[in-house]
Structure 1
């Protein structure tokens, strides 16, 4: 009986995950009449995916491609820098003793517990004081702060970087930075990739901060642009924008899928492989 319940829960979770994606794929193959006149989980009668993609990339002088580029820069650059900072900070919290270390780390954990949406308005108010609203930097800088990444990095460091290896490196005359980059960082690489994936996904899906920070459509990330198209379709009588929002949503998940597939060999690899002979 317990196995039946467990399998039922798993099937419900799979359906909850896959059915919206299936609907999105099917809806992207439809023209406007098919979208509202056919079964949601059936392909369009005219199979209009090609024309939908062409319309998407040409709409408003190719603004969608600009949104995708913005999002890749926001998420890619922010995730890489945030991951480097997080790994260095987590490594320092794990391997070094300094005054007030646990209290400072406690503040990091407080940051983990605060949802990002709760920080959007204070971030906007701070940015407005220094003139960073409606700018690339105003959205990019907050993505460099990732308290959960620091926490993960400390856990990875404690489990994958033996102190004996660091002592051997220091005995050989390597400085602390050389020890970190040449000895510790290769062992932390799976953790680094995991942190990149977490932060990349978080920034890619970030909505409320760009909503309050930006007013120039040329600076929008893709999800904010899709929201504008969907709102236009609902409130301003432009039903053709539904297809733009739907097809754009489908295209916007492709980079995430590619990223996870291409990096899975790192974050699935052994954490301490090759650390010690």
Structure 2
């Protein structure tokens, strides 16, 4: 009895410490723009300055290259939206095909999907760059969108869902009733895949929103950059972070950098909170087979 109480108390301490390590950096990111740049270092790390300083930090951020940060933000929004739609639709369709149809070499395709999940994305950057260049897509947003929409992890999630959570008898009964494969997919598979689709969309959104290396390689123009790449340009031009930038007169300091980081981080948090119920449903979709 005493041992179990000690174990429970120890578990709570570990969970609390893990939660604190996760929350404190985000809390600092929220509070840092509230402090004036001139006296930033005199404040405690988690101290609050004033709401007016958020406006000052935003105005300073907008002064960089005539407000190009807004252009980067818009690029991130539409790149990510296109990637999420294409990645989710293609992953659900491919997962259904692998799990519920008799396509040739099905096991081989599942194995290839697993292998592609294990290959580091950095290792594929050079061949993807050469492929995009050969197709005339270099410096085009569609090079980033189409390549990022290739989602082996999403395909595997959908494959597991359709293999375990949806009874095969349901597919067979629909086929006996004369349903075509497209009709079966649209009327049975898609309505039953809402949870797993939300999970695939969330992972696709997270990966696309913070993607840095691929857009950096495939996009050569600053106005085409998404936020992560654009903020890299901003950071490299800021003496507060990059001493090699010299002593330029940009009014960019640690409050502005923290605000820029907050702009990148908040959408992921909002999307997670808005879709948490569907994500939970997707996580347990295959736990019990009907």
Task: State the TM-score, normalized to the length of structure 2.
Answer: 0.86
2:81 is the alignment partner of 1:76? yes
- CA distance in structure 2 between the partners assigned to 1:195 and 1:98 by the alignment: 23
* 2:177 alignment partner, one of 166, 172, 185: 172
2:110 is the alignment partner of 1:99? no
Q: CA deviation at 1:208?
A: 0.9
> What's the counterpart of residue 208 of structure 2?
203
Moved more, 74-83 or 232-241: 232-241
- CA distance in structure 2 between the partners assigned to 1:240 and 1:144 by the alignment: 37
Q: CA deviation at 1:216?
A: 0.9
* 1:259 alignment partner, one of 231, 249, 271: 271
- CA distance in structure 1 between the partners assigned to 2:33 and 2:68 by the alignment: 19
Moved more, 263-272 or 79-88: 263-272
- CA distance in structure 1 between the partners assigned to 2:113 and 2:126 by the alignment: 20
Q: CA deviation at 1:57?
A: 4.1
> What's the counterpart of residue 240 of structure 1?
251
The SS at the match of 1:33 is coil
Deviations 1:217-266 (A, max 9, x none): 11111011111111111131346333433212112222222222222232
CA contact (8 A) 1:32 1:240 kept: no
CA contact (8 A) 1:34 1:45 kept: no
Deviations 1:97-154 (A, max 9, x none): 3332111211110110112222223222322233322221221111110001111001
- CA distance in structure 1 between the partners assigned to 2:32 and 2:8 by the alignment: 35
> What's the counterpart of residue 3 of structure 2?
none
- CA distance in structure 1 between the partners assigned to 2:20 and 2:194 by the alignment: 33
- CA distance in structure 2 between the partners assigned to 1:39 and 1:117 by the alignment: 38
The SS at the match of 2:38 is helix
**Unmatched tracts of structure 1, length 5 or more:** none
- CA distance in structure 2 between the partners assigned to 1:84 and 1:45 by the alignment: 45
CA contact (8 A) 2:60 2:251 kept: no
- CA distance in structure 1 between the partners assigned to 2:24 and 2:137 by the alignment: 40
Q: CA deviation at 1:45?
A: 5.7
After TM superposition, list the pairs within 5 Å mapping 1:42-81 onto structure 2: 42-44=47-49, 47-57=52-62, 59-81=64-86
Deviations 1:163-188 (A, max 9, x none): 22222322332211011111111111
> What's the counterpart of residue 168 of structure 2?
163
CA contact (8 A) 2:28 2:46 kept: yes
Aligned length: 274
**Unmatched tracts of structure 2, length 5 or more:** 1-5
Task: State the TM-score, normalized to the length of structure 1.
Answer: 0.90
Cα RMSD after superposing both structures = 2.2
> What's the counterpart of residue 88 of structure 1?
93
* 1:268 alignment partner, one of 269, 280, 283: 280
CA contact (8 A) 2:60 2:252 kept: no
> What's the counterpart of residue 250 of structure 1?
262
2:157 is the alignment partner of 1:136? no
